[in-house]
A = this chain, B = another copy of it.
Amino acid sequence: MTENQQTLLDQAQKAVLERHFFTPYPEAPSRRTYGENANPEGRAAFEAQLGKAYGLRQQHDATLLSAEVSPFTREALGITYPIQQDPAAYLANSYAAFQSWKKTAATERAGILMETLERLQARFFEQAYASMHTTGQGFVMAFQSSGPHANDRALEALAMGMIELERFPQEAFDWVKPMGKTQVRLRKRYHNVPKGIGLVIGCSTFPVWNSIPAVFANLITGNTVILKPHPLAIYPAAIVVDELQQVLEAHGHDPHIVQLAPDRPETPITRHLAEDPSVQLVDYTGGNVFGAYVESLQGKEVFTEKTGVNSILLDSVEELESVLNNLSFSLSLYSGQMCTCPQNIFIPREGIKANGKQLSYEEVVQALVAAVQAFVANEKMLGSLGALQNDSTYARVQDAQGLGARVLLASQDLRHPDFPKARLRSHLILEAQPEQYELFSRELFGPIVFVIPTESREQSLQLAKKLAREAGAISCAAYTTDPAFEARIEEEMAEAGTPVSFNLDGMFWVNQNAAFSDFHVTGGNPAGNASLSDPLFLRRRFTVVGMRSREKNVRMG
């Protein structure tokens, strides 16, 4: 590790323990930070890749034409990737690579990962275009989520991993038990034993951000990785594997320590890999149904981020306009395709206190609808909607209008300012009654939000808590100027394992999670247990085994 890398790792370790603000990777894709040529060069690299084979340093016996289609241009990316026709070949190569990787010193593994992060940073702009044209995220968001923010989360996992690996004495030491006039003396040492092969199953909306922490967590703890990307978002994952393989090879390691195992929607290979007994670790991001299957796998360490149904509680606000500006942005960002995006807004029927007076429920709802309308009417903001990743999400918005809930704001097709063919719809705002729990407790992924008029703020809270406990939740936003009610929300939602953001306005949204400070997914409700990056996320990936020897030339007892 270079001195700079060591310094950065030390800072990262300090940050994860203290939880203060930390980010070594500037999040703005600005010329001043990244240089005049970074964007055009990244774009050129992306364009040069389209329709071509993506080369990787891994054994293969065939190529796969990917099913990736840009949600903006609606054109196939046309990229081919090297594959093994028999998925067992990935496992065999991973197992072989594991034999040397597990013996590699943790500090050496850390150096390789630190160097990879530097190299990924040099490809942030290509990655931004790759992510944009697979996920449908707007350019800035794609840059941030797959670039600096993903690097943050990877570094965080690496830092927490080193902390966990170094927590107990590794070096041999003397354990001495006094026994009256004599003593027992044993020489003890502890080994961190990696579990084996880790399968990381990616998703289509955050192919890097949601996968790279698991990849880095596995690698730093000495496990090997097979990254099975979502069939619609392979390119962003390929960049990560590519850079890792290059650094590994440059340092004399087997590039099969990390492999990319892409597939097509009609010929999935995930179950084949996940069920193999040699796979000891499975990380999964995606829907509930496959998530439940992954969680049912016996004898493996399983980490999941499934879906959640996130709530907003409105009780009282200082200034409604700034709150609704914040909320409408939260809803609209990436058209509701974030796991932290709100789905249900609970508003008491009696209305809320705002701007020093009592506003009726109807007034609040009208203001909310107006704010969302204003958002999509503002062409400057349209870019942040991105595009809908797939046809199912598009169809879901259409279908939701017929669910039996009152339509407060109909969804309409939008024309993306730069990509006329982009799949894009404005937010659908529905009103559901508290009794329609079946309706709003389903995750309706995409630009769909329910407003739910409640008997009281207490009913709002109890519904949000019930939803979190039964359907899972990853975020919650609450607005109250009453400190006593704030404390109550905090207590109740904590019990439901749900982080709450109170009274956000301005330029920070409930969707945002800061690496090194905010644990993403708590493990305290059905949304999943892959908490980025708490100690369990690392510690469960290796076993500590203690050894003890009679000290030479010391007779015991």
Contact = CB atoms under 8 A, between A and B. Distances in A.
Given A193-B494, A550-B504, A534 B523 contact: no
- Residue among A498, A539, A549, A555 having the largest count of chain B Cβ atoms under 10 Å: A549
Interface stretch (A142-150, A168-176, A417-425): A168-176
Interface string A257-284: 0000000000000000000000000000
A519 interface: yes
B20 A508 contact: no
A52 interface: no
A545 B499 contact: yes
A191 B494 contact: yes
Interface string A20-62: 1100000000000000000000000000000000000000000
A522 B545 contact: yes
A485 interface: no
A557 B298 contact: no
Nearest to A507: B557
B503 A549 contact: yes
A8 interface: no
A497 interface: yes
Contact of A544 (B21, B298, B507, B522): B522
Interface stretch (A182-190, A357-365, A426-434): A182-190
Given A191-B494, A508-B184, A508-B186, A523 B535 contact: no
Interface in A1-23: 17-21
A339 to B, nearest CB: 16
Count class of interface residues, chain A = 35 or more
A221 B473 CA distance: 23
A500 interface: yes
A514 B545 contact: no
B517 A188 contact: yes
Contacts of A505: 550, 555-557
A464 to B, nearest CB: 14
Contacts of A519: 190, 544-546
Interface string A523-557: 11000000100111001100111111110000111
Contacts of A193: 494-495, 497, 524
Nearest to A542: B524
A10 to B, nearest CB: 18
A401 interface: no
A486 interface: yes
B556 A506 contact: yes
A168 B18 CA distance: 7
B535 A167 contact: yes
B539 A498 contact: no
Contacts of A191: 490, 494
A321 interface: no
A73 B298 CA distance: 44
Contacts of A555: 505-506
Given A494-B191, A506-B184, A506-B556, A21 B175 contact: yes
A288 interface: no
B18 A547 contact: no
Interface string A468-509: 000000000000000000100010011101111111111110
Contacts of A490: 191, 547
Interface string A186-230: 101011010000000000000000000000000000000000000
A492 B14 CA distance: 35
A518 interface: yes
B494 A523 contact: no
A251 interface: no
A395 interface: no
A547 B20 CA distance: 14
20 contacts: A19-B173, A19-B175, A19-B188, A21-B177, A164-B535, A184-B506, A184-B508, A186-B508, A190-B519, A193-B495, A296-B298, A494-B545, A499-B548, A500-B547, A502-B548, A504-B556, A506-B556, A518-B548, A522-B543, A535-B535
Interface of A: 17-21, 164, 167-169, 173, 175-179, 184, 186, 188, 190-191, 193, 295-296, 298, 486, 490, 493-495, 497-508, 514, 517-519, 522-524, 531, 534-536, 539-540, 543-550, 555-557
The 6 A-B pairs with the shortest beta carbon distances in the complex, nearest first, are A507-B557, A506-B557, A524-B543, A506-B556, A502-B549, A503-B550
